[in-house]
């Protein structure tokens, strides 16, 4: 940690005055009992489909792909040379020049999406309420871009040239830590890491924090920025990524018989969650309710999924939402465009929905925005929320040739107008991590 002298030199207060005998403390004492219900009142997104929620959702409804040749580094020697990158990103819209130099791309995405979500929710964080607003940003690999760059510095220039900002720039918890520093949120603050289930867990755990009364509001979601040489090389070595380099827009094709792996994406998506009573008292707009959440483990294999883990995650989430399978109007699938993953999830959905499985609309928006790894559950929760808002189900694009083992209604290629009051979102991660969220229209 920095010394007091160093902190003063950087312009950082040596001691932050405690918020005591203030209106915040009085509000805590007089605060109404938490409602036990958690609603979504703010949305923010920086994605391969757009730099905000409106553009991201419009692209998804239009069925546009965010994939293209990798431009963030020279991938000419790689088997996989395509990805879903965030285009035209300008961190300067959210951070000053000095802050940008000291923050990894993943943190920048988290900050941008968080500021958007707070603005959308019309919630100002002040000394009066800061202790009751927390932050929970999930990331699968944290600042892997910074880490890989500094490994190169170490190898080529020696240990004395490694940046003093290496550690605070690459450790995963800085996604949440830096969001709190920028926004002033001083409530519960930590980071979840569970591979591709990460931000599903982050949103579910943030809702649990509110339900138990430890916060009135939480910024929750996920971010990832792993389109760097070591990240792409690692997944390519596993044969998990598509090599359809000559046709990137058609490379991510979940549930299609010709799928050959996922397309990596990047970005950040954040939701502002609030206790229902708090949201109503301040007259907030309510997008949807977090009605249910469950997490489970396969306890089976570090990459191959086990159907029963996903089944239990979905069943328990529905139970906790006091809903039945027949109440679900839309499933946003994990649907990565990998052979075994898509088959396993289809089999799990059959077990959960039984004879009704074939009539439940299921789509994988990864076909458009790619696989955001630890950020997947957050952008896909956003898709569920917008489906509830607009009564439109986003499609699974590039679905051309049915796979006999993937035999559900995948909303192929074109968005569909439909009644969506309840949406189920699955996220499953390497290591056997499973998370299911149930989002429903607020009543």
Write 206-209 long-range contacts (CB < 8 A, 24+). Answer: 206/134, 206/136, 206/273, 207/38, 207/273, 207/290, 207/293, 208/293, 209/134, 209/136
Burial profile 111-138: b = 16 or more Cβ within 10 angstroms, e = fewer: bbbbbbbbebbebebeeebbbbbbbbbb
Which run of H or of E encompasses 119? helix 105-121
Task: For the chain, state the CA radius of gyration.
Answer: 21
Residue 250 falls in the annotated catalytic set: no
Q: Which of 84, 201, 278, 334 is flagged as catalytic?
A: 334
Q: Which of 196, 201, 278, 406 is flagged as catalytic?
A: 196
Residue 433 falls in the annotated catalytic set: no
- 8 Å CB contact between 410 and 402: no
Query: Angle formed by the axes of helices 144-157 and 229-237, to 10°?
Result: 110
Residue 406 falls in the annotated catalytic set: no
- 8 Å CB contact between 334 and 362: no
Q: Which of 201, 278, 371, 433 is flagged as catalytic?
A: 371
Q: How far is Cα 197 from Cα 199, in angstroms, rounded to an integer?
A: 6
The set of catalytic residues is: 196, 334, 371
């Amino acid at each position: 940690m920095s010394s007091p002298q160093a902190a003063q030199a950087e312009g950082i207060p040596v001691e932050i005055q405690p918020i005591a005998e203030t209106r915040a403390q009085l509000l805590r004492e007089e605060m109404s009992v938490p409602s036990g219900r958690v609603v979504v009142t703010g949305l923010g997104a920086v994605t391969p489909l757009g730099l905000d929620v409106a553009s991201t959702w419009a692209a998804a409804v239009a069925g546009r792909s965010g994939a293209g040749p990798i431009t963030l580094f020279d991938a000419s020697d790689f088997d996989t040379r395509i990805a879903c990158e965030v285009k035209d990103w300008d961190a300067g819209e959210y951070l000053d020049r000095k802050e940008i130099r000291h923050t990894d791309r993943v943190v920048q995405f988290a900050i941008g999406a968080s500021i958007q979500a707070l603005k959308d929710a019309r919630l100002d964080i002040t000394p009066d309420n800061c202790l009751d607003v927390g932050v929970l940003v999930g990331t699968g690999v944290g600042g892997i871009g910074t880490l890989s760059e500094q490994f190169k510095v170490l190898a080529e220039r020696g240990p004395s040239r490694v940046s003093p900002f290496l550690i605070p720039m690459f450790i995963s918890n800085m996604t949440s830590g830096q969001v709190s520093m920028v926004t002033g949120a001083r409530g519960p603050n930590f980071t979840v890491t569970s591979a591709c289930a990460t931000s599903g867990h982050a949103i579910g755990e943030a809702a649990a924090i509110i339900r138990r009364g430890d916060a009135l509001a939480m910024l929750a979601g996920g971010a990832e920025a792993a389109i760097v040489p070591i990240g792409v090389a690692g997944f390519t070595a596993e044969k998990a990524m598509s090599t359809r380099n000559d046709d990137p827009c058609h490379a991510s094709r979940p549930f299609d018989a010709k799928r050959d792996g996922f397309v990596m994406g990047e970005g950040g998506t954040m939701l502002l969650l609030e206790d229902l009573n708090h949201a109503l008292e301040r007259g907030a707009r309510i997008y949807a309710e977090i009605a249910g959440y469950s997490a489970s483990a396969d306890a089976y294999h570090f990459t191959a999924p086990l159907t029963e883990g996903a089944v239990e995650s979905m069943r328990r989430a529905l139970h906790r939402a006091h809903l039945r399978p027949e109440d679900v109007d839309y499933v946003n699938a994990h649907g990565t465009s990998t052979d075994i993953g898509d088959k396993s999830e289809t089999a799990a959905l059959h077990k959960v929905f039984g004879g009704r499985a074939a009539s439940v609309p299921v789509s994988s928006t990864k076909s458009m925005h790619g696989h955001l790894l630890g950020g997947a559950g957050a952008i896909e929760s956003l898709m569920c929320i917008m489906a509830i808002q607009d009564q439109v189900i986003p499609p699974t694009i590039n679905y051309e040739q049915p796979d006999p083992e993937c035999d559900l209604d995948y909303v192929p290629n074109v968005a569909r107008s439909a009644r969506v009051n309840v949406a189920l979102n699955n996220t499953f991660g390497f290591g056997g991590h499973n998370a299911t969220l149930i989002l429903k229209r607020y009543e």
